[in-house]
Structure 1
Amino acid sequence: MQTKKSEIWVGAFLLLALCAIIFLCLRVTDLKSLGSVTTWKLYATFDNVGGLKPGSPVKVGGVVIGRVSDITLDAKNYSPKVSMDIDDRYNNIPDTSSLAVRTSGLLGEQYLALNIGFDDPEMGTAILKDGGTIQDTKSAMVLEDLIGQFLYKSGNGDVKNPPAAGDKPVQGQPAPEAANNPEEGK
């Protein structure tokens, strides 16, 4: 009788653990977006999408309004083309809006930040329709490029383009070493 009771407890514990694992999987994958929510398509082309991937959120002010559905390479100019599924509730996006690849925190996931533009039909603006394209995009910042720019700026001081060996010195700047020492060029 004792073994049967312990088997029931083990079975109940395993069932509870299985339910917890299923709950966590659904929570992590944000499965609520697979429900009966209708969406519409938006497209955007970037120079660099960084670590953006299908399923990444599209946010306005931190609120998720859609998801990245696909990332392809444009056959004409070889730029990444991102397609997004936007919730039908948010179908009033002006064509003057901009889209930027951002990162949540220092090492967090990448997402698309949508900055809503203005809508003024007198100025020729319009509301994006299903299949529309956002023209104003800002690519992902590459950490290596930022570090390189920082190191380049700190290494050169204030001189952006140092003069070449044969250039005449600009007033206020020292002459290049090779111009002062003709023996060094030989």
Structure 2
Amino acid sequence: MKLINKELYVGIFVIIGILCAGYLTIVLGGVPMFSPKGYTLYAYFTSVSGLKDGASIEMAGVEIGNVSEIMLDKERLEAKVYLRINQGIELSEDSIASIKTAGIIGEKFVSISPGGSDIMLEDKESLSNTESALDIESLVRKFIFKDDN
């Protein structure tokens, strides 16, 4: 009887350890358990250099969503970025989406500047006002190899 109790406690302890390890793997790995509530917008950018799927979307320094997909639009030859906006956040049709960098060499994220229109965007609509990422490499190249003529 004593051996069975010891084996039972060890089994329960192992199961709890496995559940904790699984939970930490999911939380620290950033794996979404359920699809987040909200809506999806898209925006076209001429350059999304350094922006990745899952990048945060911020407004006034507060995270309001994330980038769900980035693809090349073959008709426009521009990057089409799908933005997953959290439930309860409304953006007007004249909002501006900009690609910014967190710090000097930090990760890229999308910054939304609110507009003043009374017309709000709905699911699967487009943000028409965008500002592409600043390409530091091309600016440095122009500065270094500038033409002195």
Distance 1:24 1:107 in 2: 27
| Larger RCO (CA under 8 A, 6+ residues apart) | 2
Letter in 1 for 2:67: V
Q: TM-score w.r.t. structure 2 length? A: 0.77
Letter in 2 for 1:23: L
Partner of 2:47: 48
Which of 68, 87, 95 aligns to 2:93? It is 95
1:129 aligns with 2:128: no
Gaps of 5+ in 2: 1-12
Letter in 1 for 2:24: F
Distance 1:25 1:39 in 2: 21
* Distance verdict in 2 for CA 1:146–1:17, change over 3 Å: farther
Q: TM-score w.r.t. structure 1 length? A: 0.63
Gaps of 5+ in 1: 1-11, 121-125, 157-161, 163-186
Distance 1:46 1:113 in 2: 13
How high is the sequence identity, in percent, across the aligned residues? Answer: 30
Partner of 1:105: 103
* Distance verdict in 2 for CA 1:22–1:108, change over 3 Å: farther
Task: Give the root-mean-square deviation of aligned CA atoms.
Answer: 2.7
Residue-pair matches, total: 139
> 1:35 deviation in Å?
3.9
Structure in which a larger fraction of residues adopt helix? 1
* Distance verdict in 2 for CA 1:108–1:28, change over 3 Å: farther
